[in-house]
Amino acid sequence: MAFGFFKSRKERTSSEAPPAEEPLDETLPAELEPFQPEPAEGEIIWPDFPDDAPSEPEPPAAEPAPAAAPAKSSWTQRLKSGLSKTRTVLTTPVGELLGGHAKIDEALYEELETVLLSADVGVEATEYLLGALRGRVKRDKLTDSGQLRAALKDILSDLLAPLEQSLDTTTAKPFVIMLAGVNGAGKTTTIGKLAKRFQAEGKSVLLAAGDTFRAAAREQLTVWGDRNQVEVVGGQGNDPAAVIFDAVQSARARGIDIVLADTAGRLPTQLNLMEEIKKVRRVIQKADPTAPHEVLLVLDSNTGQNVLTQVKAFNDAVQVSGLVLTKLDGTAKGGTVAALAKRQPIPVRFIGIGEGLDDLQPFKVDEFVDALFGES
């Protein structure tokens, strides 16, 4: 029986066998034992938070407020600093570029093209943006470099607009969210951040530790877990589909609002593992025909144009309904979002701007574009 609370890290082996050769068992749901709810126990082990995450030891959001206001006001700062590389690439050169060009000419467009490409906007989206910019310059008879900058911001905002769609978790109960992505993209960290966020909205959350292939629990957040009563369903089972199936059943039995299902990292080229994640999705559907209600693909923003390949592969496999872009606080160049918007406009539900539990924000086009241009 795969159901159970996370074992302590000490009890788990960090070198569990890789899943690649494991046969897929399509009959799994029928074989599952009936769900037996287990009482909530005191000790809760949280998966995969780094030992040095700055905000881990901090009190939960519910703590009285002196820390809350600065955290909120620092969001723009963090986004800005997270996007600093893009801003360096995009803003400064654009500023210099426009400052150095009295008129809008071919040389300016060429330099702009280089700037956009170096910000990871990608060939396709860069061509689109420049084409639209030329059209706008002609249509509105723009001559001033300031106008050109405003026009580029406008066009970029329009391109990104379809990606801004917040996640509505009220359409089902339990609302089942499955996370997928390549190794190290930030899936497990994002689950912790989401759990905290949903709880702050007054929702009950159950976590399904569907990454059964490696020791997922890295840091024990006992105090936080106790206070917030988040359960982690997981255990010793080798079959991630079984674990998540159990979690969905459990959540339904207990009237839980949201299930967050973790999965192991996998590369699109690992066909066996891609088959396995398809199976996870199918098995979730057997537990609840309307689920999963959201399939979140977690993307490391440092990945550059390769995110396009990841989006396509995971979307083909498990029908991705939302994206999370992590690590925008690092050296990532936020232009990737424009590439995604052009090629595969799947909503970006959240962006990750740090390793801490509070470092997750909904994707807001205006803030994002302002940050990219250093204006927020």
Ligand X SMILES: Nc1nc2c(ncn2[C@@H]2O[C@H](COP(=O)(O)OP(=O)(O)OP(=O)(O)O)[C@@H](O)[C@H]2O)c(=O)[nH]1
| Residues at the interface with ligand X (CB under 6 A) | 48, 50, 181, 183-189, 211, 264-265, 298, 326-327, 329-330, 352-355, 359
Residue 342 Cα distances to 123, 156, 163, angstroms: 10, 10, 10
Of these partners, Mg ion, ligand X, none, which one is at the site of residue 329 (CB under 5 to 8 Å by kind)?
A: ligand X
What tokens does 347 get? 């909503």
Instruction: Pick the stretch among 3-11, 144-152, 211-219, 340-348 that binds Mg ion (CB under 5 A).
Output: 211-219
* CA dihedral sign, ordered 337, 341, 344, 349: positive
Of these partners, ligand X, Mg ion, none, which one is at the site of residue 359 (CB under 5 to 8 Å by kind)?
A: ligand X
Of these partners, Mg ion, ligand X, none, which one is at the site of residue 235 (CB under 5 to 8 Å by kind)?
A: none
| Angstrom distance (rounded) from CA 298 to CA 325 | 6
Residue 86 interacts with Mg ion (CB under 5 A)? no
| Angstrom distance (rounded) from CA 3 to CA 237 | 8
Q: Name which of 122 and 265 has its Cβ closer to Mg ion.
A: 265
| Angstrom distance (rounded) from CA 233 to CA 205 | 11
* CA dihedral sign, ordered 190, 192, 197, 202: positive
Closest separation between CB of residue 362 and ligand X, Å?
14
Q: Name which of 44 and 129 has its Cβ closer to Mg ion.
A: 44
Q: Which helix (H) or strand (E) holds 351?
A: strand 348-352
Closest separation between CB of residue 172 and Mg ion, Å?
24
Closest separation between CB of residue 23 and Mg ion, Å?
23
Q: Name which of 85 and 187 has its Cβ closer to Mg ion.
A: 187
Q: Name which of 174 and 192 has its Cβ closer to Mg ion.
A: 192
Residue 188 interacts with Mg ion (CB under 5 A)? yes
**Positions 19 through 58 that interact with Mg ion (CB under 5 A):** 48
Where do the H-state alpha helices sit in the chain?
28-31, 68-82, 84-100, 106-118, 123-139, 145-160, 187-200, 222-228, 240-254, 271-287, 306-318, 336-343, 365-372
Instruction: Pick the stretch among 21-29, 114-122, 182-190, 306-314 that binds Mg ion (CB under 5 A).
Output: 182-190
Instruction: Pick the stretch among 17-25, 204-212, 312-320, 329-337 that binds Mg ion (CB under 5 A).
Output: 204-212
| C-beta nearest to ligand X: residue | 265
Name every residue whose Cβ is closer than 8 Å to that of residue 363 and which is 6 or more positions away in sequence. Answer: 163, 164, 325, 347, 348, 349, 350, 351
Q: Which residues bind Mg ion (CB under 5 A)?
A: 48, 187-188, 211
